[in-house]
């Protein structure tokens, strides 16, 4: 069985993904300006295909790719941790499945389907800042996941936690509250 090694250089990956994100945003803004100044809604279907606020288009595909790529990397870490018989194996596996779920959710627009039921649950009236009512259960999930993973984040080696841009003093302060 052949073993292949792929070296991912974080700074190079960050630049590539950053340039792609910038190009998508630039194309979306250019499309909206074209729509505004010319009155053309479609321009060969490119304007809605590039608009970052639409679903199931090129920016959505980019977001799905990012989430899926993160899920794959987390799955690789999970397999490595399994081989090492690591203490936090379940956390890595949960993260991997969580990012896979988010990729599928983004690709299928599942979270948008929560808007109607959440609006009805909250009385069916205009919700102002919570117009996208799916953010309410989403926010709760993020809070619970944050609490669930807090000790795990504190146990990460210093190099990995610094890559996450989470200062240990912040995490320790949150944990002691």
Length of the chain: 177
Q: CA-to-CA distance for 59 and 53, rounded, in angstroms?
A: 9
Q: What is the pLDDT of residue 177?
A: 43
Element (DSSP H or E) covering residue 150: helix 135-155
Q: What is the pLDDT of residue 96?
A: 97
- pLDDT tens across 113-155, in order? 878 788 888 787 767 777 777 888 888 999 999 999 999 988 8
With contact defined as beta carbons under 8 Å apart, do 114 and 137 qualify? Answer: yes
Pull the structure tokens for residue 96: 């991997």
Q: CA-to-CA distance for 61 and 67, rounded, in angstroms?
A: 10
Buried b (16+ CB within 10 A) or exposed e, 129-160: eeeebbbbeeeeeeeeeeeeeeeebeebeeee
pTM: 0.79
- pLDDT tens across 51-62, in order? 988 888 999 999
- pLDDT tens across 58-99, in order? 999 999 999 999 999 999 999 999 998 888 899 999 999 999
């Amino acid at each position: 069985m052949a073993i292949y090694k792929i070296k991912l250089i974080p700074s190079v990956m960050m630049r590539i993904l950053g340039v792609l994100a910038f190009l998508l945003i630039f194309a979306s803004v250019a499309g909206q300006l074209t729509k505004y100044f010319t009155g053309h809604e479609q321009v060969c279907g490119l304007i809605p295909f590039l608009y970052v606020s639409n679903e199931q288009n090129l920016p959505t595909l980019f977001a799905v790719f990012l989430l899926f790529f993160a899920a794959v990397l987390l799955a690789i870490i999970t397999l490595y941790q399994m081989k090492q018989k690591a203490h936090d194996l379940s956390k890595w596996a949960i993260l991997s499945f969580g990012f896979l779920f988010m990729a599928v959710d983004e690709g299928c627009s599942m979270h948008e389907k929560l808007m109607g039921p959440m609006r009805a649950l909250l009385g069916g009236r205009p919700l102002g800042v919570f117009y996208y009512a799916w953010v309410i259960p989403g926010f709760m999930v993020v809070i619970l996941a944050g609490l669930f993973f807090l000790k795990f984040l504190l146990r990460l080696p210093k190099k990995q936690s610094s890559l996450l841009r989470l200062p240990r003093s912040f995490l320790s302060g949150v944990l002691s509250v």
